[in-house]
Amino acid sequence: GDSVTQMEGPVTLSEEAFLTINCTYTATGYPSLFWYVQYPGEGLQLLLKATKADDKGSNKGFEATYRKETTSFHLEKGSVQVSDSAVYFCALETSYDKVIFGPGTSLSVIP
Amino acid sequence: DAGVTQSPTHLIKTRGQHVTLRCSPISGHKSVSWYQQVLGQGPQFIFQYYEKEERGRGNFPDRFSARQFPNYSSELNVNALLLGDSALYLCASSLVRGEEKLFFGSGTQLSVL
């Protein structure tokens, strides 16, 4: 069945470090891909999305490129801030509003 | 504008009881989805409702049911609670079905003792 795998955390980085969170997926057809973020004490928020191969989603300095050939959607940011500390979920949508989430990667950024 | 609101925020039940969770979507949103998030895991899809009809169902037992009302609010019901039902239950709404942007509420934390 359809699934999402992402790198295990927790990830701890110093402020201004480069961030990569790996995400790979298995799906039939051509899913849309997403990164959601869950800040402490808050609900899930859509961070970025890509709907077709080679699309690049970007928001708040984060980027991810839909790579169909490697079935990947890795999240990157050039310089993380303390305020980026959160849990990040890679996800795919196989049908209307049915989103399959990865297990999440916890990120802690220290000053 | 109010976001997706869920009630209650926290709930404690005992095994065998039933529970009703409530969700009010963003004004104008007609699609509501429910997700279960067990601690340390990603959310799992339970149901999706659009225009008061069930349009999708995840791999959950029949103890789980839901409905959507004419004002597009929704209820999730769980009967015969098990310890394993302890989780954060999330509601998400979208403007139209398949809009690909879900807005999530903060969830209801259910503890089953």
Predicted pLDDT at B1:
60
Strand, coil or helix: what is B83? helix
| Cβ <8 Å between A97 and B92 | yes
Tell me which chain A residues have a C-beta less than 8 angstroms from the C-beta of B91.
none
Give CA–CA dist B30/B99, Å, rounded. 11
Residues above pLDDT 70, as percent of chain A: 97
Predicted pLDDT at A78:
96
| Cβ <8 Å between B90 and A43 | yes
Q: What does the pLDDT look like over B12-70, one tens digit per residue?
A: 999 999 999 999 999 989 999 999 999 888 999 999 998 889 988 999 999 999 999 99
Tell me which chain A residues have a C-beta less than 8 angstroms from the C-beta of B42.
4, 89, 91, 101-104
Q: How many helices (H) and strands (E) does chain B have?
A: 0, 11
Two tokens at A27?
Answer: 């799906």
A61 min Cα distance to partner chain B (Å): 20
